């Protein structure tokens, strides 16, 4: 089964929004900025543990806003990785209307309720922005596993059905989803092992405890540089374009696509999303929407997206709501195919 996470319904258009879209989406926000801004510390709540992709993303935003004096009040990062990330959004359900808590995650916000019994629903969240997209890469530790290529990974999995372990962040989320798609595409049976964050999964592979993992570049970059992990293939339809050498004489552009390696899963990408609780003041949503847009224009954020080979795409307002609806529909189909979809979601 193929997946085109953005191309099945929501196209990925890089670059800036048109002038007319900016006028419609941000004129009201600009006016609202004069009406409201925080006058006490703001919590930036992360739906993952320290060191993972969502944590790194949140701390980059925090640093960008603080160093460039775009905020006057302290920004405090709070990690809530419990329940595969649902603890963060349960916290939003417990803090309805609060303009002093902003939630950072991925597709987890709208995917978790599809296959897991959680204490929140999408009506408990207010979407603020989607800022970048991460690609997914299949990694191994060749020194421990003997796996140097994606072809060798597939061959080992076929020789050992259900015994090749693949680590990832959380259960029934993006990492496990791409593993199930990989199983179907390559005709293999893998053992998926979930951890609280992508960084924990990377550490398990680097330590030789797990054969492979699926991760965003940011979560395994340092392990690659240290010689403890190697990228096997990237889940995109074309190779990445960055030719800067990272490690082992390889650049991101040297990583073959998984399709090249015989695993027909392409364009599986992950949005980095920002949320607030339900019933927050519209002027507060407008304030944080504009703030996230300003963060993306800072040197710190641009360096982050370049370093981690991310696709920059800012979405807010109606465009974001349309994207979220289409993505939820796509995941419902995948979850139904995996027998993960809760009866209430069908």
- What mean pLDDT comes out for the span 219-229? 93
Whole-prediction pTM value?
0.79
Q: For the chain, what are the domain ranges?
A: 19-133+270-345, 137-254
Q: Which residue has the higher pLDDT, 269 or 12?
A: 269
> What DSSP string describes 64-99?
HHHHTT--SS-EEEEE--TGGGHHHHHHHHHTTT-T
Beta bridge partners of 277: 125
Q: Is the dihedral of CA 239, 176, 50, 153 positive or negative?
A: negative
pLDDT greater than 50 at residue 50: yes
Same topology between domain 19-133+270-345 and domain 137-254? yes
Instruction: Identify the band that residue 345 occupies on the pLDDT scale cut at 50, 70 and 90.
Output: low
CATH superfamily of domain region 19-133+270-345 = Bordetella uptake gene, domain 1 (3.40.190.150)
Q: Which residue has the higher pLDDT, 48 or 17?
A: 48
Cα 246 from Cα 251, distance rounded (Å):
5
Q: Which residues contact 299 (CB under 8 A, 6 or more apart)?
A: none
User: With pLDDT > 70 as the criterion, what percentage of the chain qualifies?
Assistant: 89
Between 2-6, 34-38, 180-184, 238-242, the lowest mean confidence (pLDDT) is in 2-6
Cα 133 from Cα 22, distance rounded (Å):
20
pLDDT greater than 90 at residue 10: no
Instruction: Identify the band that residue 342 occupies on the pLDDT scale cut at 50, 70 and 90.
Output: very high
Per residue in 251-289, pLDDT (tens digit) is 999 999 999 989 999 989 999 999 999 999 999 999 999
pLDDT greater than 70 at residue 304: yes
Q: Which residue, among 309, 305, 7, has the nearest Cα to 135 in the 3D structure? A: 309
Per residue in 128-139, pLDDT (tens digit) is 999 999 999 999
CATH code for the part of the protein at 137-254? 3.40.190.10
Cα 324 from Cα 123, distance rounded (Å):
13
Q: Helices (DSSP H) in the chain: which residue ranges?
A: 19-33, 53-67, 86-94, 108-115, 142-145, 150-159, 174-186, 198-206, 217-225, 282-296, 299-307, 317-337
Beta bridge partners of 225: none
């Amino acid at each position: 089964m193929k997946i085109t996470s953005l191309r099945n319904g929501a196209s990925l258009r890089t670059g800036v929004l048109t002038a007319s879209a900016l006028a419609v989406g941000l004129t009201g926000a600009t006016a609202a900025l004069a009406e409201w801004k925080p006058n006490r510390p703001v919590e930036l709540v992360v739906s993952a543990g320290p060191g993972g992709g969502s944590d790194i993303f949140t701390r980059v935003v925090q640093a960008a806003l603080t160093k460039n004096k775009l905020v006057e009040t302290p920004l405090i990062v709070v990690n809530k990785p419990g329940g595969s990330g649902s603890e963060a959004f349960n916290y939003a359900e417990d803090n309805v209307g609060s303009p002093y808590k902003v939630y950072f995650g991925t597709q987890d916000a709208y995917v978790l309720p599809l296959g897991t019994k959680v204490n929140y629903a999408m009506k408990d969240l207010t979407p603020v922005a989607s800022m970048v997209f991460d690609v997914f890469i299949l990694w191994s530790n060749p020194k421990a596993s003997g796996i140097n290529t994606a072809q060798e990974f597939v061959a080992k999995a076929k020789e050992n059905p259900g015994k090749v372990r693949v680590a990832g962040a959380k259960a029934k989320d993006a990492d496990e989803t791409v593993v199930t798609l990989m199983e179907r595409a390559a005709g293999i049976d893998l053992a998926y092992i979930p951890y609280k964050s992508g960084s924990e999964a990377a550490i398990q592979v680097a330590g030789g405890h797990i054969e492979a993992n699926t991760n965003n570049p940011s979560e395994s970059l340092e392990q690659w540089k240290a010689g403890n992990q190697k990228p096997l293939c990237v889940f995109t339809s074309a190779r990445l374009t960055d030719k800067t050498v990272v490690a082992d004489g390889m650049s991101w552009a040297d990583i073959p696509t998984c399709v090249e390696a015989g695993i027909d899963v392409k364009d599986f990408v992950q949005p980095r999303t920002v949320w607030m609780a339900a019933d927050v003041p519209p002027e507060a949503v407008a304030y944080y929407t504009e703030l996230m847009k300003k963060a993306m224009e800072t040197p710190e954020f641009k360096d982050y997206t370049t370093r981690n080979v991310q696709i920059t795409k800012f979405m807010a307002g109606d465009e974001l709501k349309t994207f979220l609806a289409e993505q939820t529909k796509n995941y419902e189909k995948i979850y139904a195919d995996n027998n993960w979809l809760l009866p209430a979601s069908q």
